[in-house]
Structure formats: C-alpha cells, structure tokens
Amino acid sequence: MSKFTVKWGILATGGIAETFARDLWPNPECRGVKDIEHKVVAAASSSSAKRAQDFLKEVRGVEDAKAYGSYEELVKDPSVDIIYIATPHSHHYQNAMLCLEAGKNVLCEKAFTTNAPQLEALIKKAKEKNVFLMEAVWTRYFPLSIYVRDIITSGKIGPVSRTYADLSMAMLPEKTFEDGHRMVNPDLAGGALLDLGIYALTWVFQTFYTTQKDPKPPTVLSTMRKYKLGTDEQTSMLLTFPPTDARGEAHGIATTGMRTSADPDSKGSAGPAIRIQGELGEVQVYHPAFRPTRTKLVLGDGTVEDKEWPQPGPGEGSGWKNGFGGSFQPEGEGQGMFWEADECAYALKEGRKEGKYESLGESLVIMKVMDEVREQNGMKYPEKIETLEYPVKL
C-alpha cells in the first residue's frame, strides 16, 4: 500500500522548531500509523540560509532539502505542502498571513495569535484561499487525551461539573530569563498566560467544550500577578460554562505561573495537575499538562485504574533522541509532536481544512478567553504585535 506523503516546510529554526522537526523523522509505523509519512523538505531562518542548512542537517531533513534565508522564499517553494510556524507568539499573525496569502497549508504554534481579532482574520484568509489551518496544541492529539475525552463522553464518571487544571513551573524568571527572552518580553507577547496557561485552558476546554454536542463559550473571572516588565508571572482563571441537558453550570479552574511548580520533586508526589470531576468519579492527569504520561481513573464504586502512557519511537539502539529546552527523552522515545503532524497529514489526505480535535472555532473561543483575562487585568502588548495590519515588519 502506498503511503500518503506530507512534505513539510519549517518556518524558524529555534528550539521548538527543532523538537517538532526531529519528531517527524521516525517511521510512523513505530506508533501504529501505517498509511502516511512525513518529510522535511525545506526550512527557513530569518538570520541566514546557513542557519537553515545546519538546522536541516540536525533534524535529518531529506537529502535535497532546501535551506532559505527568508520566510518569503520558503512560502514560494512549490514542493512544500504545509508550513509549521515556530516563531514567538508575537510573530504568528504576520508569519501565518504570509503563508496563507501564498496558498500554503499551515500548522501554527500555540498561542495561535496575540489576540482574537488576528485569529479571525487568519481564519477568514484560510477560507478565502481554501487551505488547511490548525493551532499546534499537540497535547490534544495524544492517545492519552483521546482516552480522557472518551471517558468523559462515555458517562463513566457521570456528568462532569468541575475541572481543575494547572501548568505552573518554578522558573524564577528574574534568575532564569534576560529581559529580552520570549517568556517575559512584552514585545514577544511574553508571560505565563499565552505560553503555559493555554495548556491549563486546553484541559478545561477538552472537558466542557470539545466533548459537548452543542458547546457554548464560558464567562470568565480572573486575577493576575505581574512581572516587572508588565507581563504576567502568575494567572488564575475561573470559567463558568452554561448548563446542558445533563448537568447544571460547570466550573473550570485554570491556573498557571512561573514561581511555583505543579510537580515540585519531579516524581508526581504532589499529585495530579489536572482533576476532571464528575458525579460518579474523576479522571486525574499528572504533570506536565503539555506532555502528560500518566492518568488515574477513580470511581465511587472503588474502581481505580492507574495508566502509563509512554511516548512511542524507534526505541533503544536507534541512535535517535528528541527533547526540548536542553533535556532529552530516553534514546528512541519521541517527544510526542508527531501526533499533531499525523493529524495534519490525515486532514490533507481527507481534504479537511481544520483539526479534528480542536476546530478553528474552538481555538477562537480560547483566544477570546485569553483576551478577556488580559483585559480584566490590564495586560497590554505593544500595538505593533496587536495590530491587524499586514505586512508589518517586526
């Protein structure tokens, strides 16, 4: 059986780009996916073509992969089926619009844009060009996440009334980051909310939005602690979702921060980072919210199911490693970004224009929630990265 091949172009060559592109190298059959394959055929660096060339060698791009010293060159490459955008949040709108204008399919790193109006403009442009557009919330495509959503929709834990979700990491920003770093710099849409908080929101939305037949947006109450640069270092959100036929109104509590940790000893001793609570029991998901590998189902009848979800890969002896932020998973174990890449492949194969487990509409609702949180707490970014104007040189 011939495989459907997706030819990727990588826009930007930083850490997350390297992690994603590395994850495209293992044969998908090592994770039970037999009818598609991925090839990295091009990459672009805004600094130089040499940087893109070095990147392609590092991630094992195809032998004749093209290296470009500008994003404009990349989007003109006819061999590229889809472009993965790996720049900071601040640049997503400009970069995605460049790709869409060129008629390219796009997988854009989260947070999708700086604000909801920018995302609305991208959605409109994608529809106008009849191309695929998806937010790279990789966690949604894990088998673990599918399992959790299935538990919810099966009714096994009963109607779900409350979800707690936290992604906090004790980074101590003043010791860890220079003022220009993307995690804290307002010019790069820094702060905990758009980088970490979106994962806490993802688990709340998977519970009360993705899994609902007729989902409705929540109302939002929030509080925020600011870093010295004006971006957030800690944010707490209370989302109230309207009643459904099965339950009354539901509460989602999403928290994020850079001064405390959801897993202080890195052994899970502090308990789950996510608790999805229904009338008959709960599902627990353990830290980190972005790459969890353990769940626990606890039911009122005494049932307890503790499951491990290791990421697949080519295995020991393969000579291949992947990771992020300077640390690697064990040899042969994937990071897990290939699951979202597989979803893109199937969408292109089937002619779909958005992701199966997070529609563009849902991405937009989440973006509006984050806008509201920033509005409630007076956190504004510079106009040059909030604008709808295009093109704007950043």
Please report, in tens digits, the pLDDT of each residue of the chain (394 residues total).
Answer: 799 999 999 999 999 999 999 999 999 999 999 999 999 999 999 999 999 999 999 999 999 999 999 999 999 999 999 999 999 999 999 999 999 999 999 999 999 999 999 999 999 999 999 999 999 999 999 999 999 999 999 999 999 999 999 999 999 999 999 999 999 999 999 999 999 999 999 999 999 999 999 999 999 999 999 999 999 999 999 999 999 999 999 999 999 999 999 999 999 999 999 999 999 999 999 999 999 999 999 999 999 999 999 999 999 999 999 999 889 999 999 999 999 999 999 999 999 999 999 999 999 999 999 999 999 999 999 999 999 999 999 9
Q: What is the mean pLDDT of the chain?
A: 98
What is the spatial distance between Cα 225 and Cα 121, in angstroms, rounded to a whole number? 30
Q: What confidence tens digit (pLDDT) does each residue in 121-174 have?
A: 999 999 999 999 999 999 999 999 999 999 999 999 999 999 999 999 999 999
The two three-digit tokens of residue 51, written as one number:
């940087």
Query: Cβ(297)–Cβ(310) under 8 Å?
Result: no
Which CATH number does 143-308 carry? 3.30.360.10
Radius of gyration over alpha carbons of the chain, in Å? 20
Cα angle: 312, vertex 313, 318; to 5 degrees: 150
What is the spatial distance between Cα 175 and Cα 23, in angstroms, rounded to a whole number? 31
How buried is 18 (Cβ within 10 angstroms: 0-12 exposed, 13-18 middle, 19+ buried)?
Answer: buried
Q: Where are the beta strands (DSSP E) in the chain?
A: 4-11, 36-44, 66-68, 82-85, 105-109, 133-136, 160-168, 219-226, 232-241, 250-257, 274-278, 281-285, 294-299, 304-308, 323-324, 327-328
Q: Please state which of the four CATH numbers 3.40.50.720, 3.40.109.10, 3.20.20.80, 3.90.1150.10 is assigned to the domain occupying 1-141+311-354+385-393.
A: 3.40.50.720
Partnered with residue 276 across adjacent β-strands are: 163, 283
CATH 3.40.50.720, the chain: domain bounds: 1-141+311-354+385-393
CATH 3.30.360.10, the chain: domain bounds: 143-308
Q: Where are the beta strands (DSSP E) in 286-389?
A: 294-299, 304-308, 323-324, 327-328
List all residues 6 or more positions away from 383 whose beta carbon is below 8 Å from its beta carbon: none
Cα angle: 39, vertex 45, 50; to 5 degrees: 90
How buried is 336 (Cβ within 10 angstroms: 0-12 exposed, 13-18 middle, 19+ buried)?
Answer: buried
- Compute the Cα dihedral for 141, 235, 368, 374 and give only its sign: negative
What is the spatial distance between Cα 149 and Cα 153, in angstroms, rounded to a whole number? 6
